[in-house]
Structure 1
Amino acid sequence: MPAPTDRPAATYQAHFHRRWNHLRDPHVRALAWLLDAPDLLDPEAPEWRGRIASTGTVDEVTGRWLAALDSDPSALHSWLDIKPFTRLGRYAENLMAFYLRHQGTLVAHGVQVRAGKNETIGEFDFLLRKGGALVHWEFATKLYLLEASGNGRHADYFVGPNLADTLGAKVRKIMDRQLSLSQHPAAKLHLPEPVAQAQALVKGWLFYHGKTPLPAIPAGVSSGHCRGFWCAQEELQWVAGEHFAVLPRLGWLAPAKVPIGQALGRRAVREMIAGHFQTATTPLLIALLAQGDGCMLEVDRGFVVPDDWHSRAERRVVQPG
């Protein structure tokens, strides 16, 4: 495997640290990433026919609000109400709901649509008031690894770290089913008025085997998306760097900022990963760190997967569920 040492001259991590390194609270930093990160799907791509939402550029007013929130994040922490097994998707959704409520555009969040007592039709992630009209936003925050036999041109070759889904399957589900929820007769009972527009807001990271330079990507994926590398445990020796952090699941969004004393050396991170794979098969996300202003900052990131992950991912691609 080629070592992931040749990083682009201008990474998203470098951009994020320039703009947001003053933020200390991890949840405020995660919210800043959600608002600042490039969209995973290109809103201008003709494939989507205007159905991709975007948060746009973070303006100075929002930047000041994030800084004030960072100085006293108690309201955000209370809103998030994080439990030990909070899912990353739900965590990101709650972060975005907090922001939309602050913006004054949030009408409703997480509205389940049922047909009778036992049949769930779907859920409106966000109902928003925009320009006087009711808008439905479907929201997703996803991380996918390019299965190594694929060249990146087809979204089905981007597989979730736990092999549960693919980028292609997720996009089809959003576009073909979830964005049409407001047209279902049962959904109309939950709406104060007809939905004028339904769009998807998709954020995330894509990971490539070995180096991080951008290969061919599927049509409709943003060329400036956040990216990293992946490697099998047996390939870990080729990963460059001297300082690392193993990121907890709720730390997968924003580029990491780690106290100097908590950074791991090469030997320590290898031992931690080896111990993990003795009892588990869940991939680990590691950050490669460099010293910043009194802390360690992420300069690259990558998933370390079990040595048999590639063969299992190949079967997942060939036999999509």
Structure 2
Amino acid sequence: MDEQEGEAALAALALQERTVRDLAWACFTPALLHLQQADLGTAAFPLTAARSAWLQALDRDPGPLRDWLQQRPATRLGVYFERLWQFFLHSDRDTELIASNLPVRAGGRTLGEFDCLYWCQQRQRAVHLELAVKFYLGLATATPSAGYSNGCDWFGPNTVDRLDRKLQRLLQHQTQLSQQPAAQPVLAALHAEKPLREARVAGCLFSPSAAVLPPPRGYNMALPLGRWLPLEEWRAECAGDWQIIPRLHWLAPLRASRHGQAGATLAATLEAHFREGGKPQLVAALDTHGNERSRCFVAADIWPDSRK
């Protein structure tokens, strides 16, 4: 099953419970980036018939997933994404979750933490998995080279977060933690010495609607690029019902939402938000049943000039 077939199979499950849809999105949609580093794999688990049945059973009775999430409630999207993956690794028959968010300390300071350590039944090896979920807006800051944009062209809504900086930290620090001397006794205590190294970067890139910005090197071309628009441009095409997507709901598409409002009304809300210096907002176009048809970011008209 290729990535596009996998997405179609996931959509065909028609999951109703939001947290279960988020779980399915986190673990079974295609990765955002193919990471280029020796001895670093991309965590990828196929959506098998058994896993599809597991998701559908959870959709009927989401209690185990809800209980898991309530043990450590997440207020940040990245932590929520990690918790979903940890639940999957804890539950799947082919994996055993050894530890999660496990700190490594030396000399009174924390060097980092393992997002996930798990045992892979098929490979009969421990695996160190680092996770990230990112939503970046593109800004052409330099001339693309060889058909690719640069990592410094993709910014988070707060403009401090940037793709090249995130990848540098992920590849040079986070995924290297198991190589640190201070990590060796931590791994030995868990019988997880010399783990394989994996990473998974999920999310979406939103290209500017007024310019052609190619994706960065390593982008998964099986995924479509999203788009972002200045408020005035979005206002001209915002017919129908729309909704601002709360940050913790950015993963799976909205379903049966009751919070839609007319585009003109939402435009007035966004205008007031941006007048106070607010960040770009992710919004969804809804059909008559409250299901998400599409999504895009809307930013202040001066947002590129006001980034820090």
CA-CA distance at 1:50 after TM superposition? 5.0
Give the percent of matched residue pairs that are identical in Structure 1 and Structure 2. Answer: 32
Normalising to structure 1: TM-score of the pair?
0.83
Question: Match of 1:189?
Answer: 185
Kept in 2, the 8 Å contact 1:204–1:226? The answer is no
Distance across 1 between alignment mates of 2:291 and 2:79: 26
8 Å contact 2:151–2:162 — kept in the other structure? Answer: yes
| Pick aligned residue for 2:256 from 245, 255, 258 | 258
C-alpha separation in 2, matches of 1:247 and 1:87: 14
Q: Using the TM superposition, give the Cα deviation of residue 61 of structure 1 relative to its aligned residue in structure 2, in angstroms.
A: 1.0
Question: Which whole-Å deviations, capped at 9, do the CAs of 1:134-170 have from their partners, x for residues lacking one?
Answer: 1111111111111144555111111111112111111
Paired with 1:215 and 1:61, the residues of 2 have a C-alpha distance of: 40
> Aligned partners of 1:16, 1:48: CA distance in 2, in Å?
30
1:160 to 2:160 alignment = no
Matched, 1:230 2:228: yes
Partner SS, residue 282 of structure 2: strand
**Which consecutive residues of structure 1, in runs of 5 or more, have no partner in the other structure?**
1-10, 317-321
- 1-structure distance, mates of 2:11, 2:285: 17
Residue equivalent to 1:307:
301
CA distance, structure 1, for counterparts of residue 264 and residue 220 of structure 2: 36
82 and 265 in structure 1: CA distance in 2 versus 1, 3 angstrom threshold: farther
| Aligned match of 2:267 | 270
Structure 1 range deviating more: 93-102 or 66-75: 66-75
Q: Tell whether the 8 Å contact from 1:146 to 1:207 is kept in structure 2 after alignment.
A: yes
1:106 aligned partner: 97
- The amino acid of 1:276's aligned partner reads H
Q: 1:298 aligns with which of 292, 299, 305?
A: 292
Map of 1:69 onto structure 2: 58
Q: Does the 8 A contact of 2:103 with 2:110 survive in 1?
A: yes
CA gap of 1:242–1:50, structure 2 versus 1, over 3 A, is farther
Larger deviation: 80-89 or 159-168?
Answer: 80-89
**Offset of residue 241 of structure 1:** 4.2
Query: Whole-Å Cα distance in 2 between the matches of residues 34 and 84 of structure 1?
Result: 17
- Distance in structure 2 (CA, Å) of the matches to 1:249 and 1:201: 20
Within 1, Cα distance between the matches of 2:48 and 2:157?
A: 33
TM-score, structure 2 length as denominator? 0.86
State yes or no: 1:146 paired with 2:143.
Answer: no
Check conservation: 1:155, 1:166, Cα contact below 8 A: yes
Instruction: Output the CA distance in 1 between the equivalents of 2:74 and 2:100.
Output: 21
Contact 2:178/2:195 (<8 A) preserved? no
Q: What is the alpha-carbon distance in structure 2 between the residues aligned to residue 148 and residue 272 of structure 1?
A: 28
Conserved? CA contact 1:37–1:226, under 8 Å: no
- For residues 236-247 of structure 1, the aligned pairs below 5 Å read 236-247=234-245
Cα pair distance change 1:110/1:159, threshold 3 Å: same
Residues 44-79 of structure 1: CA deviation (Å, up to 9, x unaligned): xxx333523232331111111111111111221121
Q: CA deviation at 1:266?
A: 1.5
Q: After superposition, what is the alpha-carbon deviation per residue over 1:176-228, rounded to whole angstroms, capped at 9, x for unaligned?
A: 1111111111111211342232121111111011179x852222111123532
1:297 Cα deviation from its structure 2 partner: 2.2
Change in CA separation of 1:244 and 1:171 when aligned onto 2, cut-off 3 Å: same
CA–CA separation in structure 1 for the residues paired with 2:8 and 2:158: 29
Taking a change above 3 Å as real, the CA distance of residues 82 and 241 of structure 1, as seen in their structure-2 partners, is farther
RMSD: 2.6
- SS state at 2:216 partner: coil
- The 3-state SS of whatever aligns with 1:221 is coil
Residue-pair matches, total: 293
Quote the residue 1:136 is aligned against. Answer: 128
- Report the equivalent of 1:198: 197
Residues 288 and 299, structure 1, Cα contact 8 Å, conserved in 2: yes
Residue of structure 2 aligned with 1:127, choices 117, 127, 134: 117
Structure 1 residues 85-137: Cα deviation after superposition (integer angstroms, max 9, x where no partner): 700000110011011100142111100111133x1101111111122211111
SS at match of 1:262: coil
Tell me: higher relative CO, structure 1 or 2? Use CA pairs within 8 A at least 6 residues apart.
Answer: 1
Q: 1:171 aligns with which of 146, 164, 167?
A: 167
Which one-letter code corresponds to 2:96 in the other structure? T
Partner of 1:19: 12
Q: CA deviation at 1:280?
A: 4.5
Letter in 2 for 1:110: N
Corresponding residue of 1:115: 106
Once residues 15 and 199 of structure 1 are traced to their aligned partners in structure 2, the CA distance between those partners, rounded to angstroms, is 25
